Structure 1
């Protein structure tokens, strides 16, 4: 991925300084990501962007110093270019969640391209790079999806089912009960209750000593190279 090296330069420099400066690691912010750091979680969001809720979420993540991965729907990108550029500028990772949020299984090549490649082209035009992951809607994939993806396929291991209702207490409790080191946490940034639930989950997991990172950072920290067409649920140690 083209941005991988650029994003890791500050991290590697910080790690090097930690070897030379006594106490450096102890005084680092709790939200930093260090290669080999324990208790990492990748926070991910599907179905956006939606200007009102996604902007609120980005503000909350910025306040907490947290980086996330956003899987975007192509039909929602129009007139949201500034929101998407902000995601990228603030260090969040961006992925594809198809154009119309449809099942990818069973599609022919032309229909697959209309869902995935068309969204990829839109994002490339907006951001100027082409290193996007794929999350198939509903977590459904098959051999044809793997063959056509052209990038790693990312699922999840922690699901608070925030789409089911607006019960923030339930979704936070459910997320916390499923979280373990190396997990991938799924929320949706198109519901106000999901934004609240996600930020409260972040605060609770910070209190438990978890660090948050993008999908790219999570797997790199565990020495795993993401491969096109391969499916990943977690980076458990």
Structure 2
């Protein structure tokens, strides 16, 4: 009887070992065929995994429109799907209304750069209105809307300019002084080297060299992952409200 019990006990242990061996083989096979997941790493779509934020930059142009160069620039921007902001001289609007309407139709933003490109500081209200409000009237007559920004010539401000502007005042963070020597290579190098997310680039669309440089800048910064947008789009994306009489140099995150 004792011998028979021992035989039964040995048989039981043999079965247990057999089951354990089968289980270990199955577990090893599953580990090789199933994907490995790190517990601490969030999965796509889970909270904590964020897409990288788009790098934004605004390209702005002063002193236009000039039919020859501005039209060439608009052609190049359209080919690249780029939107810019143009600060216009009021005295040049009447002869170029079709160019201004094209800017607006193609999604570019439009602003005021005075009527005769004069300093706005220390002006009387009458003289200020002759430069800013007269230009505004020209643009309203051309485009039938009134949501224009102001860029004072030379970036010069005083309390009166802020009080009378009637709209946001836009300055800049990158100025290659493209007017100074009209050297496209130098302008491209300076702008690309200074480019930063949330920056505002100042250029002029009245020189052929500046048009060439601007399009090369777009290509170079596109290759670096930048997206070009209007001033309004830039500040909307950063959640920064643009307020009348306030001045803005950039929209750095």
TM range (shorter): 0.7 to 0.9
Residue of structure 2 in register with 1:69 after alignment: 85
One of 131, 136, 144 as aligned partner of 2:147:
131
> How much does 1:167 deviate?
1.1
> How much does 1:39 deviate?
1.0
Contact 1:155/1:233, CA 8 A, preserved across alignment: yes
Residue of structure 2 in register with 1:106 after alignment: 122
Map residues 74-223 of structure 1 onto 2, 5 A cutoff: 74-223=90-239
Q: Give the alignment's Cα RMSD to 1 decimal.
A: 1.1
* Relative contact order higher in (CA < 8 Å, ≥ 6 apart): 1
Deviates more, 1:73-82 or 1:214-223: 73-82
Aligned length: 203
Contact 2:94/2:138, CA 8 A, preserved across alignment: no
CA distance in 2, matches of 1:49, 1:173: 25
**In the TM superposition, what whole-angstrom CA distance separates every residue of 1:143-191 from its partner, at most 9, and x where no partner exists?**
1100000000000001111001121110000111211000001110000
Contact 1:37/1:221, CA 8 A, preserved across alignment: no
> How much does 1:37 deviate?
4.1
Largest Rg, 1 or 2: 2
CA distance in 1, matches of 2:84, 2:130: 26
Unmatched 5+ stretches in structure 2? 1-44, 46-51
SS of equivalent to 1:235: coil
**In the TM superposition, what whole-angstrom CA distance separates every residue of 1:203-231 from its partner, at most 9, and x where no partner exists?**
00000000000000000000011000000
Residue of structure 2 in register with 1:6 after alignment: none
Residue of structure 2 in register with 1:4 after alignment: none
Contact 2:59/2:202, CA 8 A, preserved across alignment: yes
TM score, norm. by length of structure 2: 0.79
CA distance in 2, matches of 1:136, 1:63: 30
SS of equivalent to 2:95: coil
Unmatched 5+ stretches in structure 1? 1-21, 23-35
